[in-house]
A = this chain, B = another copy of it.
Amino acid sequence: MESQYKGCSVNRGIESGTREKELGVANKRKIIRGFDLFLRVAAVVLSLSAAVVLGADRQNTTVAVMLVPTLPAVNVPVTAKWHYSSAFVYFMVANAIACAYGAISVLVITLANREEKPRVATMILVFDLMMVVLLFSSFGASLAVGLISYRGNSHAHWRKVCNVIGKFCHQGSAALGLSAVASLVFFLLVLSKILNLATRENIWLA
């Protein structure tokens, strides 16, 4: 009888150990999914903010222009808008797509059932990678135009414009900063998934 009880308690010990392990894995999964969703929401907010900040970026000012050296300078009105540069248009489109996709991905991940999850996760990872490409290329394009606006290019005779439209340039820089962080968040999402997948044992050998 004693040995029977002993065997029973050992079995119970193994069962409770397995349950604890399962609970541990489930908790780990929950934490990873929670962090993933937090990053996604952050990416949505950041790319939306970048698009809104650049979309609302507009400056009306006047520049004193000397038309004839002997006459006094004439004040010419100058307006700066984001859609005057094709790089900023691309930036807007890229951030709008990233924001919309981010929101859709949060919904899809939350609503997918257990059977659909593997396929959904693969699709999401591929689209995340596309967002990395989209956001970093648009960031590069906008930064290049921003640098010419700030410093000009003496070789091409492109004069800097940020001394005239300073407010527009500062707001544009803020939009660029927000988009840079959104790009890094999507990069982090892809990187974490890749490391999560690739560090499994023997995954590369099969």
Contacts and interface: CB of A to CB of B under 8 A. Distances in A.
A91 B64 CA distance: 37
Contact of A144 (B80, B145, B200): B145
Interface in A151-180: 153, 155-159, 161
A203 interface: yes
A23 to B, nearest CB: 15
Interface residues of A, number: 51
User: Copy number of this protein in the oligomer?
Assistant: 2
Interface stretch (A8-16, A39-47, A100-108, A190-198): A190-198
Contacts of A129: 132, 187, 190-191, 194
A155 B148 CA distance: 14
A117 interface: yes
Contact of A155 (B80, B142, B157, B190): B80
A166 to B, nearest CB: 14
A156 B161 contact: yes
Interface stretch (A50-58, A66-74, A118-126): A118-126
23 contacts: A84-B156, A85-B155, A86-B144, A87-B140, A90-B140, A118-B201, A118-B202, A118-B203, A126-B191, A126-B194, A126-B195, A129-B132, A129-B190, A129-B191, A133-B187, A136-B136, A140-B144, A141-B141, A142-B144, A149-B156, A156-B161, A157-B159, A194-B194
